[in-house]
């Protein structure tokens, strides 16, 4: 995740843009990743693109196959349990830290994001982006860059699953309600309640994804 308070490098910009293309399935699982096409699409030179792709490979968004090329990594639904169990431990812990370290400005910003979710006509993809912004505010308030970097990658993988299985069918209203309750606990300084609510939020997402996967496989 790029810190918007500081200028980003071309490699960081390339990483953000290519990962967004993968998450939104503009680059679908199994697609060939061509550096020249990305340079033209993004207007970024070869070296930053290559650096971004190396980082995406480390984060398991792209796969390099010797003598064949680079491909968008498949989504292994068998890893859903690992994704959930990792987020279910880390996200509540970060919520506890955020309750202790967050500032009124953090919670005021989160309130503004939640107000955006109430605007009529919001599409599901817009709501999932606002969901992400709420998580990012909590991560930032926790003030631990190692946790933030890890959770950013985990959330991006979850976001990719959402676009693959739920984008056209999911009702994001429940997620908005969950964030409102989380915000209330954070602002009130209740770490245990905030952690429990965040864990429930992550569990709800996991249950929806699993149900969607089962429905597609049947």
Task: Give 3-23 pLDDT, tens digit per residue.
Answer: 444 457 999 999 999 999 999
Question: How far apart, in whole angstroms, are the C-alpha atoms of residue 65 and residue 48?
Answer: 21
Question: How far apart, in whole angstroms, are the C-alpha atoms of residue 150 and residue 147?
Answer: 5
Domains and CATH numbers, the chain: 10-72 (1.10.10.10), 77-217 (1.20.120.530)
Percent of residues, the chain, with pLDDT higher than 90:
68
Coil, strand, or helix at residue 30?
A: coil
Task: Give 136-172 pLDDT, tens digit per residue.
Answer: 999 999 999 999 999 999 999 999 988 888 766 566 7
Question: How far apart, in whole angstroms, are the C-alpha atoms of residue 60 and residue 52?
Answer: 12
pLDDT score recorded for residue 134: 96
pLDDT score recorded for residue 211: 84
Alpha carbon separation from 95 to 87, 156, 172, 207 (Å, rounded) = 12, 18, 21, 21
Task: Give 62-98 pLDDT, tens digit per residue.
Answer: 999 988 999 999 887 778 889 999 999 999 999 999 9
pLDDT score recorded for residue 55: 95
Sign of CA dihedral 94, 98, 99, 101: positive
């Amino acid at each position: 995740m790029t810190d918007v308070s500081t200028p980003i490098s071309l490699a960081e910009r390339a990483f953000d843009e290519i990962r967004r293309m993968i998450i939104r399935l503009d680059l679908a699982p199994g697609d060939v990743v061509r550096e020249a096409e990305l340079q033209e699409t993004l207007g970024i030179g070869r070296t930053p693109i290559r650096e971004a792709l190396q980082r995406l490979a480390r984060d398991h968004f792209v796969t390099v196959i010797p003598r064949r090329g680079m491909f968008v990594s498949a989504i292994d639904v068998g890893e859903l349990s690992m994704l959930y169990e990792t987020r279910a431990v880390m996200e509540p812990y970060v919520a506890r830290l955020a309750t202790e370290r967050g500032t009124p400005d953090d919670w005021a910003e989160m309130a503004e994001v939640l107000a955006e979710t109430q605007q009529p006509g919001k599409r599901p993809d817009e709501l999932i982006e606002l969901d992400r912004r709420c998580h990012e505010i909590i991560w930032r308030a926790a003030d631990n860059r190692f946790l933030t970097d890890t959770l950013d990658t985990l959330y991006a993988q979850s976001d990719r699953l959402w676009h693959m299985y739920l984008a056209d069918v999911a009702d994001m209203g429940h997620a908005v309600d969950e964030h409102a309750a989380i915000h209330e606990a954070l602002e009130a300084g209740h770490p245990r309640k905030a952690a429990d609510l965040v864990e429930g939020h992550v569990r709800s997402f996991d249950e929806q994804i699993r149900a969607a996967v089962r429905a597609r496989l049947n």
